[in-house]
Amino acid sequence: MADEEALPARLNRAAALDRLGNHAQIYGQVLDMFRETLPVTCADIVAHMQAGQWPEAARKAHSLKGSAGAVGADRLLKLASTAERALAAGAVDAEATQAAVQALLAEAQALLAELSAG
């Protein structure tokens, strides 16, 4: 895992380490797993949404929310929470749901770019 200075500004490493009992090695493993699964989870959200499978899409957003919290990606966590609520409502407000998911995907992409650069 990269040293703390190389971590993206989008990650609150101190908060994540606190939640993990200050185990830096575990944090590194969790961050590596997060980096690998984030693109798949985002693709799953989009696929479920496009198929009208709102509960499945909401579950994926919920899972992403937990993963984001585990690594200290606070902004991504908040956006995943917003997307989860919108997806759970289904197609009730398609425009708001689309906007919430697009914001989530944009933040995920930016975070992945920073992680790849670090």
Task: Assign residue 107 the CATH number of its domain.
Answer: 1.20.120
pLDDT at 3: 45
pLDDT at 118: 66
Residue 105 lies in a domain: yes
Residue 4 lies in a domain: no
Are the C-beta atoms of residues 30 and 20 closer than 8 Å to each other?
Answer: yes
How many whole angstroms separate alpha carbon 113 and alpha carbon 118? 9
How many whole angstroms separate alpha carbon 65 and alpha carbon 39? 14
Residue 2 lies in a domain: no
84's tokens:
């989860």
pLDDT at 1: 42
**Exposed (0-12), middle (13-18) or buried (19+): which is 5, by Cβ within 10 Å?**
exposed
Evaluate if residue 37 carries a pLDDT over 90.
yes
Residue 18 lies in a domain: yes
18's tokens:
């606190």
Write out the residue range of the structural domain in which residue 83 sits. 9-117
For 48, residues 6+ apart whose C-beta sits below 8 A from its C-beta are 54, 56, 57, 60
For 68, residues 6+ apart whose C-beta sits below 8 A from its C-beta are 34, 74, 76, 77, 80
* pLDDT tens figures, 53-101: 999 999 999 999 999 999 999 999 999 999 999 999 987 888 999 999 9
**Residue 2 pLDDT level (bands cut at 50, 70, 90):** very low
pTM for the whole structure: 0.88
How many domains does one find in the chain? Answer: 1
Residue 89 lies in a domain: yes
